[in-house]
A and B are shown apart, each in its own frame.
Chain A
Amino acid sequence: KQEVTQIPAALSVPEGENLVLNCSFTDSAIYNLQWFRQDPGKGLTSLLLIQSSQREQTSGRLNASLDKSSGRSTLYIAASQPGDSATYLCAALYNFNKFYFGSGTKLNVKP
């Protein structure tokens, strides 16, 4: 059974800090892993997608890593800003494009 877990559920940091969000998945037969951002009352915005053959992806201040063998992914946010405050969701993609989502980490970056 595919399950995705995210830790911590909530995180509050002062502006400028570097931070790491964690995601773990039980079934390592993933096709890819994707990190999304969800703002209150809004849909999901894709941040980074890591294919199963890749180890990491970078976009600006964001870096996502993938370790299939241990069933883990991390999202690293450098020099956090108040605009980064949102809920971050990871989703593991399995066959037939089935996404399994974690419950998210709610991030608050304080000015």
Chain B
Amino acid sequence: DTAVSQTPKYLVTQMGNDKSIKCEQNLGHDTMYWYKQDSKKFLKIMFSYNNKELIINETVPNRFSPKSPDKAHLNLHINSLELGDSAVYFCASSQRGLAGSTDTQYFGPGTRLTVL
């Protein structure tokens, strides 16, 4: 059974389009995250949600909007895609994730987004 799953695995689209990436975790965790891994392999956190509430919101263009319908799902919607959005996007989850938490994070397989 996949603990953290993402769809789609690959996404190729034109500049200016709007797209969504979905993430689901079946671990019963309270907190979920979105990370972006650029071409230099740096992983940077974008957002985190704890029990459907936004906890971390790094400096990300407002074209990126996370949505958490329930604590097992965290989707990422991107408006007006740009060339620089091309990257691998990883979803992750952890048991708690609040201040002082030391839980490990479990990562999904990633979604490779290519903007043409």
| Residues of chain A at the chain B interface (Cβ within 8 Å) | 31-32, 34, 36, 41-46, 49, 51-52, 87, 89, 91, 93, 95-99, 101, 103-104
Top 10 A-B residue pairs of the complex, sorted by shortest distance between their CB atoms:
A101-B43, A44-B107, A43-B107, A97-B97, A43-B109, A32-B102, A31-B102, A97-B101, A46-B104, A49-B104
| A31→B102 CA distance, assembly (Å) | 6
**What is the CB-to-nearest-CB distance from B114 to chain A, in angstroms, rounded to a whole number?**
14
Contact assessment for B105 and A42 in the assembled complex, using a CB-CB cutoff below 8 Å? no
Collect the chain A residues with CB atoms within 8 Å of residue B92's CB.
44
| B15 interface residue per 8 A CB criterion | no
| A103→B45 CA distance, assembly (Å) | 13
Find the B residue at minimum CB distance from A49. Answer: B104
Contact assessment for B40 and A103 in the assembled complex, using a CB-CB cutoff below 8 Å? yes
| B86 interface residue per 8 A CB criterion | no
What 0/1 readout, one digit per residue, does chain B (44-56) give for beta carbons within 8 Å of chain A?
1100100000011
Collect the chain B residues with CB atoms within 8 Å of residue A34's CB.
104-105
Collect the chain B residues with CB atoms within 8 Å of residue A93's CB.
102
Collect the chain B residues with CB atoms within 8 Å of residue A91's CB.
43
| A52→B101 CA distance, assembly (Å) | 12
What 0/1 readout, one digit per residue, does chain B (1-35) give for beta carbons within 8 Å of chain A?
00010000000000000000000000000010100
